[in-house]
Structure 1
Amino acid sequence: MAKSRIFGESLFASQTTVLCACLIAGSHVITVSAERPNVIVIMSDDQGVGDYGFAGNPVIRTPELDAMHAKSGYLSKFYVSSVCAPTRASLMTGRYNYRTRCIDTWIGRAMMDPDEVTLAEALRDAGYRTGIYGKWHLGDNYPMRAMDQGFQDSLVHRGGGIGQPSDPIGAEGKYTDPTLIKNGKEVPMTGYCTDLYFDAAMDFIQESTDKGKPFFTYIATNAPHGPFHDVPHKLYDQYRNIDFTPILVDTLKPTKFEQESDKLARIAAMITNIDQNVGRLFHKLNELGIGDNTIVVYLNDNGPNTRRFVGNMRGMKTAVDDGGIRSPLLFHWPAKVQAGKTSDALCAHIDLMPTILDACDIQLPQGHKVDGRSFLGLLTRDHLNWPSRRVVFQSHRGDRPQLFHHFAIHEDPWKLVHPSGFGKEGFTGQPKLQLYDLSKDPRQESDVSAEFPEVFQRLKKGYEAWFQDVSSTRPNNYAPPRILVGTEHEMSSVLTRQDWRHCQGKPWAPDSNGFWLIEAADAGDYEIELIFAQDHPEGTATITSNDVLTQLNIPSHKQRGHMTPLHLPAGKQKLFVEVVFGGKTQGPHQVILTRK
């Protein structure tokens, strides 16, 4: 699929985008640096801002990340979105996720528009080898897969995490010995998932170094995201008898305390395992002699997945309070960044792409909008003019954003926020906005709206302008992207509940249903297979596409093998499967659509 690559600043970010000078040849990205740095970005999943020894956590052990912190540049006021897919869209594009069509984490709204220009594409087009290992969460089907969006080597899981309805059949919920997707193919693996991602990344780094090619390696772990049943056993045993009281936010009754302590032991084991792998990675870079000129970035994607220590802030995952949207940003580049160089400037996930391109002397073609600015100078120069800016974070459930719902706008030191609740859509009436001076009140305990009405109004108007700007990025801006089927890029499309448009019951419940928005480039014949997760009696399935109905008898007690021919016309269509078991209707667990 051809991409429109037009670079130009958004109105909202008109004074925030700072990119390096470079050369452009035709529509391709090129570079002017002879000694380009390698780039590694590591992002954990649901690890909070306080889950590090260097952040003051007295329980969770992160010695390798503590060592990285000591020898790296550090942004102490770095922000991400409150949930994972929006952060990933912003990181990959340098743009607010509302510009990218990625507005939620499931039911078709974690898919990113394929016309977005990604960091991987920019680096690939500049001659870098590109590889991703772990979590993508921006689309599982063509043309939205990581391998379609600039990554030449890809080892990922589907959906938002292992243990979700997008898992390959027969490998459901397996952190150990998972089945992963290697360049579009399901591959059974041996080992623990985080170890496997780092192993594959280091193999890719070795190959790139042997070829004399610069590389971009994106390691996005699904740990410490739940489920928590399958964790590194030796580390779990070490944490099982630890007192987690020092990092608990709430006072719990004995039974609840025991359950929470066990969960935290599992989360801590996953975090320390990531930490150990970071140590392995640095050892590999030094072994190859490339550590000095390799950028290694570490961050987490949102707040922690339980109510636990977040430093002097409040909040957790899904919250727009600071504890839900803060991350450390470690930037290790010995060739350019002095160990211990720290900045407290207001920075965010939208800044990572322009910063890396700046460091690599790469620029996208003229005319393309980004919202971020390069923070490289904050870490490489003693004095940098860092103009005042505003950054906005908004994440909630639903098919399209709602004005004022669950958002925060920051203009250092101010924060205007409406924490109306992730998953609590549809508020009515006037929003109850709160204003905080974070320099004096990082825990957001004293609303100063009445004391600073001019600041309140300025930020309120700024948010309204931002919302209008991002919402008008393209015509019908919030329409869900469509899965393209029957192309040479993906002849067999696995359609899962991750990307269906939910229409019955709770989205992932056994009795729920939904449909997929697909598009066929041309008319063609397919075979469709229906897959069921639960045991079931005999039933009947009705498959509908563009008002053409196909019926299929479903034998009892059979998970797979329910197949029938299906003809799809060219163009956009809705694929809907309704199954009746014992008088009750539901949808399939997964559908596999294969072009004949």
Structure 2
Amino acid sequence: MTFCKSICLLSYFIVSLSFCRLAADANAAKHTNVILIMTDDQGGWDYGFMGNKILNTPNLDAMAAGGARLSRFYVSPVCTPTRANLMTGRYNYRTRAIDTYIGRAMMEPEETTIAEVLAPAGYKTGIFGKWHLGDSYPMRPQDQGFQEVLVHRGGGIGQPSDPPEGAGKYTDPVLFHNGEQKRMKGYCTDIYFDHAMKFIEQNESQDKPTFIYLATNAPHGPFHDVPEDLRQKYKAMDLNDAYGFDLNKRRKNEKLFDDTSRIFSMIENIDQNIGKLFQHLKKIGAYENTLVLFLNDNGPNGPRFVGAHRGMKGRVNEGGIRSVLLAHWPAQLKAGTVNNRIAAHYDVFPTILAATGVDKPEALKLDGVNVLPLLQNQAESWPERALFLQWHRGDEPTPRTNAAVVTQNYKMTFSKENEPGKLFDLTKDPAESKDLAGKKAKLAKKLTRQYNNWFSDVSSTRPDNYAPPRIHVGNSKEPTTVLTRQDWRYSGPKGKGWTRDARGNWLVTVEQAGAYDIKVQFQKQEDRVATELTVQVGDDQFQAKVPADQSEFVFKNVSLHQGKQTVDVKVAEGSIERGPMFVYLTKNK
């Protein structure tokens, strides 16, 4: 390490230590609350203060003006990887959460979440909204440090893991409160914010610090159930400026206009709730000492305005991996602070620890760094760093596939494993249109080497690093295990994932041998055809013929063996074979 780099790193650590002491001193006088808000599929330019000419976001605009902001903040191309990075402070490839479905949206339960660090330090921890890191024990948020839990299943309301009683409703949704299924009243985003506000008020009344993870499933689809008054407002507007290109020069797409009006109505509803939240913090006397962080989880869920950039959700172009990071903390952060140093979602974990004065467990290894000095603009000698981002479909990551290395000025992107990467100067070419890999071969080679080293490192975090986690059955903390299409592993010939005729199986660990009830719910293909069910759990097989007018069946008191098993359920109606919609396994007493 050169002398200059050593001095830079020393300066960084001195500033970081001073912030830890600052937070600790503030904590001695008055505890610091943290509210971490993340929206789903909003996109990094879906804000008025980011130049969006259509969207009305006055409360988020005020939050940006009244707090600090990192203007070069990065997230993963899709949601589960971002959530794993955010919750652990580690690259998601270390956590086994690598995709959004087919069993790859479950996080290794041995990973330590920010809630698991804050709770032992006296924090009351709550999650409201979207988890998407595992719906079954031991991967639920209540198994990972959260004491108050109000969430939906899977990746969103309306997806296959949603309970049948929910039917994709954003209004009066079926949610899970501390593990218990409940029909709620109201619009989903309003419900999350209302419960979060009640939670922090209750804790403030007892003088206990609060950590809230408030993760909305809006403005993720489906779009059929949105705030109607706001939808009509945007439907009546000329939405050409919502996309960053002139739709008059293309074939107009009425469905795109309609979807955009619905998405924007959900975003403005989020903004309204942000305003209510800040008013509530003032009302309960928690405004000055509450750090509110706000970000979006990936790029926009469709073609929308992304400034001078290009790309959207799923891609590693700037439009697909850029987010805002707003930080509002009147007691510590100066209004109007904007810092352009690069940072990423895995930096949030150590930053929260620094803000609260809570020590990192000694054995815990983080990939992120504390960025409070950046939010305070007190980091003139900030060390150079590289950020690594990647995502693609598949059972495990492939090197140099939809991946990016981001530095302060340059960016290297990789499309396919056997193709050379492309190099862009983001300071001069934010749209990533001019490949400089040939002209700057030395830099391209350096960034490629850094990427290769990173991929090798994260892929060797643990033996069998990319094996999916297993759902545990028969644990007293979850009397009934529900297996959904969200978490099954693809095994059938007719469609992958969630299509009607798809097949899949589940990897489970049966903790206790004994008698279980197994309930199978399925969709009928033909009303007048009986259904033949076959349930395979390890080496044990159970079969039944179900009358044509029924769409569920319960295998009573079947014996399961302890240990690692595969659950495979076949629903056969004549020549048609498919998987079930839900499987419920209940340990009998």
In which range does the TM-score fall when normalised by the shorter chain?
Answer: over 0.9
Offset at residue 31 of structure 1 (A): 10
- Tell me the distance in 1 between the aligned counterparts of 2:228 and 2:531: 42
1:24-71 CA distances to partner (integer Å, 9 max, x unpaired)?
A: xxxxxx999423310001100000111000000000110110011110
1:284 aligns with one of 255, 280, 293: 280
- Tell me the distance in 1 between the aligned counterparts of 2:12 and 2:511: 37
Once the two structures are superposed, the pairs formed by residues 63-78 of structure 1 within 5 Å of their partners are: 63-78=58-73
Offset at residue 554 of structure 1 (A): 2.0
* CA contact 2:132–2:155 (8 Å) conserved in 1: yes
* CA contact 1:535–1:558 (8 Å) conserved in 2: no
- Tell me the distance in 1 between the aligned counterparts of 2:398 and 2:12: 27
* CA contact 2:109–2:138 (8 Å) conserved in 1: yes
Q: Taking structure 1 as reference, are residues 22 and 15 closer, same or farther at Cα in structure 2, changes over 3 Å only?
A: closer
Aligned residue number for residue 573 of structure 1: 565
For the pair 1:503 / 2:491, whether they are aligned, the reply is: yes
- Tell me the distance in 1 between the aligned counterparts of 2:520 and 2:177: 23
Offset at residue 534 of structure 1 (A): 4.4
- Tell me the distance in 2 between the aligned counterparts of 1:502 and 1:249: 38
* CA contact 1:20–1:361 (8 Å) conserved in 2: no
- Tell me the distance in 1 between the aligned counterparts of 2:324 and 2:18: 28
Q: Taking structure 1 as reference, are residues 469 and 528 closer, same or farther at Cα in structure 2, changes over 3 Å only?
A: same
- Tell me the distance in 2 between the aligned counterparts of 1:403 and 1:85: 19
1:194-213 CA distances to partner (integer Å, 9 max, x unpaired)?
A: 00000110110111111110
Offset at residue 248 of structure 1 (A): 1.9
Offset at residue 549 of structure 1 (A): 1.0
- Tell me the distance in 2 between the aligned counterparts of 1:570 and 1:113: 21
1:232-267 CA distances to partner (integer Å, 9 max, x unpaired)?
A: 111111111111101224555887522111110000
1:294 aligns with one of 290, 296, 315: 290
Aligned residue number for residue 5 of structure 2: none
- Tell me the distance in 1 between the aligned counterparts of 2:17 and 2:228: 47
Aligned residue number for residue 147 of structure 1: 142
* CA contact 1:394–1:405 (8 Å) conserved in 2: yes
1:133-177 CA distances to partner (integer Å, 9 max, x unpaired)?
A: 000000000000011101000000000001100011121210011
| Partner SS for 1:154 | strand
Amino acid at match of 1:474: R
Aligned residue number for residue 10 of structure 1: none
| Partner SS for 2:333 | coil
* CA contact 1:546–1:573 (8 Å) conserved in 2: yes
Amino acid at match of 2:55: I
Aligned residue number for residue 538 of structure 2: 546
Q: Taking structure 1 as reference, are residues 564 and 249 closer, same or farther at Cα in structure 2, changes over 3 Å only?
A: farther
Aligned residue number for residue 490 of structure 1: 478
1:521 aligns with one of 505, 508, 511: 511
What is the TM-score when the length of structure 2 is the normalising length?
Answer: 0.94
Structure 2, unaligned runs of 5 or more: 1-8
Deviates more, 1:143-152 or 1:546-555: 546-555
* CA contact 2:474–2:510 (8 Å) conserved in 1: yes
Q: Taking structure 1 as reference, are residues 453 and 265 closer, same or farther at Cα in structure 2, changes over 3 Å only?
A: same
Offset at residue 17 of structure 1 (A): 9.9
- Tell me the distance in 1 between the aligned counterparts of 2:243 and 2:95: 36
- Tell me the distance in 1 between the aligned counterparts of 2:230 and 2:563: 52
Q: Taking structure 1 as reference, are residues 586 and 157 closer, same or farther at Cα in structure 2, changes over 3 Å only?
A: same
* CA contact 1:16–1:373 (8 Å) conserved in 2: no
What is the TM-score when the length of structure 1 is the normalising length?
Answer: 0.92
Aligned residues: 569
For the pair 1:225 / 2:220, whether they are aligned, the reply is: yes
1:259 aligns with one of 255, 260, 265: 255
| Partner SS for 1:543 | strand
RMSD (Å) for aligned C-alpha atoms: 2.0
2:130 aligns with one of 128, 132, 135: 135
Deviates more, 1:390-399 or 1:373-382: 373-382
Q: Taking structure 1 as reference, are residues 568 and 88 closer, same or farther at Cα in structure 2, changes over 3 Å only?
A: same
Amino acid at match of 1:580: A
Aligned residue number for residue 4 of structure 1: none
Deviates more, 1:525-534 or 1:286-295: 525-534
Aligned sequence identity (%): 49
| Partner SS for 1:144 | coil
Aligned residue number for residue 107 of structure 2: 112
Amino acid at match of 1:313: H
For the pair 1:587 / 2:582, whether they are aligned, the reply is: no
- Tell me the distance in 2 between the aligned counterparts of 1:281 and 1:561: 46
- Tell me the distance in 2 between the aligned counterparts of 1:566 and 1:242: 60
1:384-406 CA distances to partner (integer Å, 9 max, x unpaired)?
A: 42100011000011111001111
| Partner SS for 1:260 | helix
Q: Taking structure 1 as reference, are residues 533 and 20 closer, same or farther at Cα in structure 2, changes over 3 Å only?
A: farther
Aligned residue number for residue 465 of structure 1: 453
* CA contact 1:22–1:363 (8 Å) conserved in 2: no
Aligned residue number for residue 6 of structure 2: none
* CA contact 1:17–1:370 (8 Å) conserved in 2: no
Structure 1, unaligned runs of 5 or more: 1-13, 24-29, 421-426
2:94 aligns with one of 88, 92, 99: 99
Once the two structures are superposed, the pairs formed by residues 30-49 of structure 1 within 5 Å of their partners are: 33-34=27-28, 35-49=30-44
Offset at residue 532 of structure 1 (A): 1.4
Once the two structures are superposed, the pairs formed by residues 186-335 of structure 1 within 5 Å of their partners are: 186-249=181-244, 252=247, 256-335=252-331
* CA contact 2:240–2:247 (8 Å) conserved in 1: no
1:458-493 CA distances to partner (integer Å, 9 max, x unpaired)?
A: 000000000000000000000000011111100101
Offset at residue 101 of structure 1 (A): 0.3
Q: Taking structure 1 as reference, are residues 381 and 309 closer, same or farther at Cα in structure 2, changes over 3 Å only?
A: closer
* CA contact 1:104–1:395 (8 Å) conserved in 2: yes
- Tell me the distance in 1 between the aligned counterparts of 2:11 and 2:154: 32
Aligned residue number for residue 184 of structure 1: 179
| Partner SS for 2:70 | strand
For the pair 1:170 / 2:170, whether they are aligned, the reply is: no
Offset at residue 120 of structure 1 (A): 0.7
* CA contact 2:108–2:139 (8 Å) conserved in 1: yes
* CA contact 1:535–1:559 (8 Å) conserved in 2: no
Q: Taking structure 1 as reference, are residues 391 and 17 closer, same or farther at Cα in structure 2, changes over 3 Å only?
A: farther
1:506-561 CA distances to partner (integer Å, 9 max, x unpaired)?
A: 21011111111000122121100011144543111111111211102222232334
- Tell me the distance in 2 between the aligned counterparts of 1:74 and 1:335: 16
Q: Taking structure 1 as reference, are residues 223 and 16 closer, same or farther at Cα in structure 2, changes over 3 Å only?
A: farther
* CA contact 1:201–1:217 (8 Å) conserved in 2: yes
* CA contact 1:50–1:309 (8 Å) conserved in 2: yes
- Tell me the distance in 1 between the aligned counterparts of 2:252 and 2:413: 31
- Tell me the distance in 2 between the aligned counterparts of 1:224 and 1:31: 39
Q: Taking structure 1 as reference, are residues 15 and 22 closer, same or farther at Cα in structure 2, changes over 3 Å only?
A: closer
Aligned residue number for residue 431 of structure 2: 443
- Tell me the distance in 1 between the aligned counterparts of 2:127 and 2:378: 34
| Partner SS for 1:577 | strand
